Each structure stands twice: as structure tokens, then as C-alpha cells.
A and B are shown apart, each in its own frame.
Chain A
């Protein structure tokens, strides 16, 4: 546990010692504002909720989360510091979890800094704040899922650019698997069971369900399993590729 905290602290230090953190937070806040007011029609909808704000998070995360995760391991491998890290008395899973938690914590900070929109909607109307809390939780869980995918992918390659692009593609596949265009492709010939499973692995299905304000145990479990699976794959990847 102490090792995980030491790794987490070092990683966060790394984010804020370089412009990475500030650039990311500014762009995240700018884009989420832009989407909410221009594309989401926050005022035009005339509803006291944050649907206009949260419905664009999946798209935003699709590009911004791989931008955080791409450096997690590929940078260590490229600079050779992975040799230092992996010869310190820590287990590979300590290192993987510590790095992941740091990235997730960072994404959480960026998400919390959107609080003015929450104040705004409370000032303008009388929203259901429990739904908004569920919205934030769902958004945070989705960020964690995408980060776990990105962390694993960044362990596969020394190139941050390749890690970035492949992470976007895989996150995209997890995102669109709940879309009608994907499901329609299966309907008609595939058994219902397959259609249901394709739909069930979709991040969007579970995100949308949490967005309605109902925190279902199965949706939480989905994200826990998604994160655990990719972090486990991450540990295996590091152990087999660390010295390449």
C-alpha cells in the first residue's frame, strides 16, 4: 500500500511539474463548456439539468483520456526509467495500480473543476442534485475505464503517438458497441444472446444508465470489471515486455 502511494505521489508530481496538467485541464474545461453551450444547447433546452453537459463527456474522453494515458508506460520504456522502477522492491501490480490511480485522480481533479456549471444550473433553476451526483460518478467511472485501457496500451509500445492512436481506437470500439449502427449489423442473423453481449460490453450503455440518475449495482460492477481486466492485462504486458 505504501508503495502504491509513493508511486501515485511521484506520478502526480510528474503531471504538475510539467505543463501537461495545466494544458489538459484548460482544454478539458474549454471543450466541455463549448459542447455544453453550443452543441448541447444548455439554455435552449430550458431544463434544470446537466444533460447538455454530461452527454458530451464520452466523446470528450475518447480523445482526452488517451492523451493522459499515452505517457504512463511508454515514456518509462523509452527513457529506460522502467529499469529503475522495476528493480526497486515493489511488485509490478503496485506500479500499475499506483500509476493508474494517479491518472484517475488527475482526471477527477479536471472533472471537479467543472463545478461552476453545477453552480450555474442551481442558480438558474431547481435541478435534482442527486441525479447530478450520479452524473459525475458515471463520468468519473467512464474516465477510469478509458484510462485502464489506455494504460495497458501504453505498456505495449515505446511510442506515445502509437499508444495514443491505438487507445482511441479501442476506447472507440468499447464506446460504439452499444450504438444502433453496430447492433443493427448483428440483428437479423446473430442470436439475441450475441447482440445482448455486444451491447453489454458497451461503455455507453452503462454510462447512459447511470446518467438517468439510477445507480445500479450492475453498472458499477461493469466499470470495476472493465478497469480490473485492463489493469491485469497491463501487469502481464509489463512483465513480458519491460526489457524489450
Chain B
């Protein structure tokens, strides 16, 4: 157990990914420990989702390695996938199923049976507040509810590692608040990665932030360190300074 606590839950080493001629992810390295909530920031198309897909074993890296609990994802995919709960971008699921049946299917694939399966499903439904829609078909749900079904699916087996691609996208302010408190509640003993466009979220839930733009890692540090990158300590200004690469241009255009 001691070795598990000290070693990084996720270790990404010199990750590269090409899509044909496009170099989508360039030499990215970082690691996440238990108890950390890592925020993935970056403009659209920066390579955030691609990096997450490689961590969760959906995409194979062109170069570099991803270690989950010290094991290589490419060599031992099933082991890595069992340790991870993943909310893919857009929270895809099986629309023709009811929420209850869908979560039961996930529980079965995760290896739960009988009473334990039932307990896991009920537990996930309660944590995400899905009680009112359990018997509804997923296709008939609003975007916010579908996202929450995706969340329930990701936390169902109480994974040590959670990877969530835009978990609060499409949620109303109350739901966003709920999801953020859920992430905080779970963060004590888990390694969590979330990607987001909402910079305030970094302050609200993340213990560390990473900025990726054009496939490159531009910043890795605490939210406080990120703020320090802007003269006025504003996180949005810091983000712009880092991703556009020039601090002066921003201030010139923003001043009246």
C-alpha cells in the first residue's frame, strides 16, 4: 500500500500523437497523485481530449508512455481501464436504454453481481441525484441529465482515478455547483483529471492546473502560480498571456 500512496497514479511521459500529418499532442509529460485534482486548460483543439483518450486507453500514443498505477496502458489495457472511471467528451451512452438499465450494464461490465451490483447502481444514482429519471430512456433526457448519467457511470465502481472531459459542460449553475462539490468530496483519495473551458472552475476545484495549446504543455502549477502569471492576478488574463504568448498584446487591446 505504501508504494501505491507514494507513486503517481497517472504518469504521462513524453506523449506524442499524430493524426496523419497533424501533430496533435507534442511531447507532453506530467503526473497526477492521489488527492490531487488536475485541471486541463487550453483553447479548443489544443489536444486536451486527445491526451485524455490516450490516458484512458482509447487511443494509442504515437510515442511516449502512459502509466496508470505504474502499469503501461498499452501493455495492460484491461488493468488500467479497471482502475479508471472515464467521462468521455459529450458523455456518450446508449440512448435507447433507461438510466437504470444502462447503469446496471456498466456495473456488470465492471464485474459486480447480484446485491453488490444493485448497491453500486443505487449508490451512484444517489450521489448524482438521478432518482427522478432512473426509469426514463436516456434519449428523452436533457443535455444536463445525460451528462450526469455519464458521471454516474464513471464513479460507479469507485475508481482510484477519475478522468472527466468537460464534466460541467451543459449543466445549469446549480448542477455545476453540485458536480464541483462532488469532485471535492471525492478528491481526498482519488487522482482526478478534469478538462474545462471555465477558468473559475480551476479556482473552485483544482489543486493544480495544466495549460495545453497547439499540443504543447505551456504551464504546470498551482492555481495561485497561474494567477501570478498576470500582472493583476486575474486567472483569465494569465490564461491569455500563456496561450497567446504575449502579455503586452493583451493589455493593449483590452485597455480602452
Query: Which residues of A are interface residues toward B (Cβ below 8 A)?
Result: 2-3, 6-7, 9-10, 13-14, 17-18, 79-81, 83-84, 86-91, 242-243
Contact = CB atoms under 8 A, between A and B. Distances in A.
A83 B150 CA distance: 12
A243 B52 CA distance: 13
B194 to A, nearest CB: 16
A178 B56 CA distance: 47
B96 to A, nearest CB: 5
A17 B93 CA distance: 15
Nearest to A79: B92
B58 A80 contact: no
Rank and list the top 10 A-B pairs by shortest CB-CB distance, nearest first: A80-B92, A6-B108, A89-B81, A89-B82, A83-B88, A81-B92, A17-B96, A87-B56, A10-B105, A87-B86
Given A9-B105, A84-B153, 8 more contacts: A2-B108, A6-B105, A14-B94, A18-B96, A79-B92, A80-B90, A80-B92, A84-B92
Interface string B101-126: 10001101111000000000000000
B97 interface: yes
Say whether chain A's binding surface is mostly helix, strand, loop, or mixed.
Answer: helix
A87 B52 CA distance: 11
Given A87-B81, A91-B78, A81 B93 contact: yes
A92 to B, nearest CB: 9
Chain B interface bracket (under 10, 10 to 19, 20 to 34, 35 or more): 20 to 34
Contacts of A18: 96
A97 B10 CA distance: 31
Contacts of A86: 57-58
Nearest to A7: B109
A160 B203 CA distance: 44
A191 B105 CA distance: 54
Contacts, number: 71
Nearest to B81: A89
Nearest to B59: A243
Interface of B: 53, 56-59, 77-79, 81-82, 84, 86, 88-90, 92-97, 101, 105-106, 108-111, 137, 153
B82 A10 contact: no
Contacts of B96: 13-14, 17-18
Contact of B88 (A14, A80, A90, A242): A80
A18 B111 CA distance: 27
Given A14-B96, A80-B92, A83-B53, A90 B109 contact: yes
B81 A88 contact: yes
A2 B97 contact: no
Contacts of A7: 109
23 contacts: A2-B111, A6-B105, A6-B108, A10-B97, A13-B96, A13-B97, A13-B101, A14-B96, A17-B96, A81-B93, A81-B94, A84-B92, A86-B57, A86-B58, A88-B81, A89-B109, A89-B110, A90-B78, A90-B109, A91-B77, A242-B58, A243-B58, A243-B59
B159 to A, nearest CB: 10
B92 A83 contact: yes
A87 B79 CA distance: 11
A17 B111 CA distance: 24
B75 to A, nearest CB: 13
A242 B57 CA distance: 12
Contacts of B92: 79-81, 83-84
**Residue with the greatest number of chain B CB neighbours at <10 A, chosen from A2, A3, A10, A87:** A87
A89 B78 contact: yes
A178 B32 CA distance: 60
A88 B159 CA distance: 12
A83 B92 CA distance: 8
Nearest to B86: A87
B59 A88 contact: no
A14 B97 contact: yes
Nearest to B57: A87
Contacts of A91: 77-78
